[in-house]
Amino acid sequence: MKAIVTGAAGFIGFATTKELLKQGFEVVGVDNLNNYYSVSLKKARLEEINNNSSFRFVLADIANKEQVERAIGNEKNVDVIVHLAAQAGVRYSIENPSAYVSANVEGEVRIFEQALKFESCPPVVYASSSSVYGANRKIPFSEEDRVDDPVSVYAATKRAGELLARSYAHVHNLKTTGLRFFTVYGPWGRPDMAPWLFTDAILAGRPIKLFNYGKMQRDFTFIDDIVRGVMSVVQKIINEPEKVADIYNLGNNQPVQLLEFVAAIEQATGKKALTELCPMPPADVEKTYADISRAERDLDFHPTVSIRQGMASFVQWFKHYQGK
């Protein structure tokens, strides 16, 4: 079996690639190694898998048609494309919206177009986000909810990606499934996200900012649980495509208040946090909460890692990585 993974040097892309290789897939990884966050971290992830003979890495920008064609245009017998490349970060989308349109909209179109060019016309499993729920008041968030009120450019581009997928399915009969990820964290996670930022600050004795005066809630989902969900979709979309829905929530189904999240880091580090209470940023939402009943039914998706277990694992990895 052969898979193409875009964003292979990214957090979820790297973890998914490792699991695909473990399960016997040949994997072609694509990434542009942009500098939105530490390139050295992305290269360190790749070093973990580059010695696997079933893995080939290609440096390419998915928004660039010529680069995509050179990178993967000649691949044969592709069974699935796992499209995880994206410009991430809600708050950065305020500063640089064009980067999000390029990567998350134009880049997705390039991948869909390339899928159509392959003789096998492989299905595409792609990354969406819980951010598409925007200002929705109904809790928990269900795939059946309306998602036409985004509060950030990032969320708008992710919703655009879902609509594009639906269009390609209708016009070209391209099989696609989008995964709305809910605050994914764990070892090898991104340095712009709260687990890294808070852990780094607490270990160094610096204060951390608690937005919405500490009343924010997030459906933190451990990376291993997310990868199990992704792999379940991959296997089903290859073997039983008629049994896979077009959208799934992948979340922990247990929102955690920011103060509880900080307490988990304090327990894992053995250090007390210095906190600064701040108002809500304009592009953020107060709470995310995934209804995962569809994923439970179709994918046998059952998250198992608690926030205290997950943050203990992250802190252990973080100390080791920083020590190196």
Q: How many CB atoms lie within 10 A of CB 262?
A: 21
Q: What are phi and psi of 2, to 5 degrees?
A: -125, 135
Q: Which of 201, 251, 244 is nearest to 225 (CA)?
A: 251
User: Contact 281/91 with Cβ under 8 angstroms?
Assistant: yes
154 is catalytic: yes
| C-alpha to C-alpha distances, 39 to 25, 157, 308, 320, nearest whole angstrom | 26, 24, 29, 18
Tokens of 239: 């073997």
Report strand pairing: 2-6 vs 26-31: parallel
Distance CA 126, CA 108 (A): 9
Strand, helix or coil at 74? coil
Counting every residue written for the chain, the total comes to 324
User: Nearest CA to 152 among 288, 261, 314?
Assistant: 288
- Judge contact between 141 and 291, C-beta under 8 A: yes
- 92, 126, 133, 154: the catalytic one is 154
Q: Strand 221-222 and strand 247-250: pairing?
A: unpaired
Which residues are designated catalytic? 154
